[in-house]
Chain A
Amino acid sequence: MIYEAISFYSLAMFLVFFAYKTISAENPIHSALYLVLTMLGLGAMFFTLGAEFIAGVQVIVYAGAVMVLFVMVLMLFDLKAEVQTFSKGLLSGFLKVFSAAALAGLALGVISNSVQMVDSSATQPAAEAGMDVTKNLSILLYTKYLFSFEVLGVLLLVVAVGAVALSRMKGGTHARRG
């Protein structure tokens, strides 16, 4: 119990600190690298929650592939002159932060009031001990969720074609090619 508390609080502080650095760093490259650290911390947290496969996918796909994509696109641009990092307006900025804080407070209130309703008596001890989670996950993915899985494959194909078409077009999204 005490070990779980220690690991949770250290990971939570790590995550909140680097998430804050992500949104406050003025250089977008620094934001991207702090976001990689946030993703790695979340992967570690998934691991402690007993989702080993998802933790591995998180590290490989997010901290690896997606963030490499971000950093490579950032390196394509010459972003030395970041004119305006944050949006203008003190009042509107205050309102934005206030609305985000209100959303977080609302979510915290809802969580503390409603988390007792979750019926955790159905928890299977085998799923918690990390036995065969990956095996059961793959069985579920290829039986119950097979159709969604195939649709996702089609979606990825469409997105790949669309991204290439979008970046090859000249002069905006509605321009004629040529």
Chain B
Amino acid sequence: MLVADRLLHITAEHYLALSAILFSFGMVAVMMRRNVIVMLMGIELMLNAVNLSFIVFARELGSLDGQIMVFFVMTIAAAEAGVGLALAVAIYKKFKELNIRYFEKLKG
């Protein structure tokens, strides 16, 4: 009964747990995948997981500052995606493949 109540009564804990799980998925994507664009997608997934916890805390505390932070994080994520994709284009133009191991050869 107590367990069912804890499972059915959705609190901030549930949302934060989901956020942690999504964050670790993004982390696995960054560490395991070799394709630069898929690694960038993993970073986006991690940023979104953090956004979820920001929104949950904003609701818990009855304050809108968390939502403002989400707004900023989204802007920076869009900027980061732009720069990362430009780097991916640079890698592809030189090596005709999108593997992360070419990153170190990109200088000069």
A8 & B64 in contact (Cβ 8 Å cutoff): no
Expressed in whole angstroms, the minimum distance between the Cβ of B67 and any Cβ of chain A is 5
A152 to B59, CA, bound (A): 25
Bound: A177/B105 CA distance, A: 18
**Interface residues in chain A, defined as those with a beta carbon under 8 Å from any beta carbon in chain B:** 1-2, 4-5, 8, 12, 15-16, 19-20, 22-23, 28, 31-32, 35, 38-39, 42, 45-46, 49-51, 53-54, 57-58, 61-62, 65-66, 69-70, 73-74, 76-77, 79, 82-87, 93, 96-97, 99-101, 103-104, 107-108, 111-112, 115, 118-120, 122-124, 127-128, 133, 136-137, 140-141, 145, 148, 152, 155-156, 159-160, 162-164, 166-167, 169, 171-175
Main DSSP-derived SS at the A contact region: helix
* B32 with A167: CB separation less than 8 A: no
Q: Write out the residue numbers on chain B whose beta carbons fall within 8 Å of the beta carbon of A103.
A: 20, 23-24, 27
At the interface, is chain B mostly helix, strand, loop or mixed?
A: helix
Are A87 and B45 also in contact (CB < 8 A) when A49-B56, A58-B74 are? Answer: no
- Select one of A1, A51, A128, A140 contacting B55, CB under 8 A: A51
Starting from the known contacts A23-B29, A84-B34, A123-B62, 19 additional A-B residue pairs (CB-CB under 8 Å) come to A15-B22, A28-B37, A28-B98, A54-B51, A58-B51, A70-B81, A73-B37, A83-B99, A84-B99, A86-B34, A87-B32, A87-B34, A96-B32, A99-B31, A111-B17, A115-B16, A127-B64, A173-B90, A175-B108
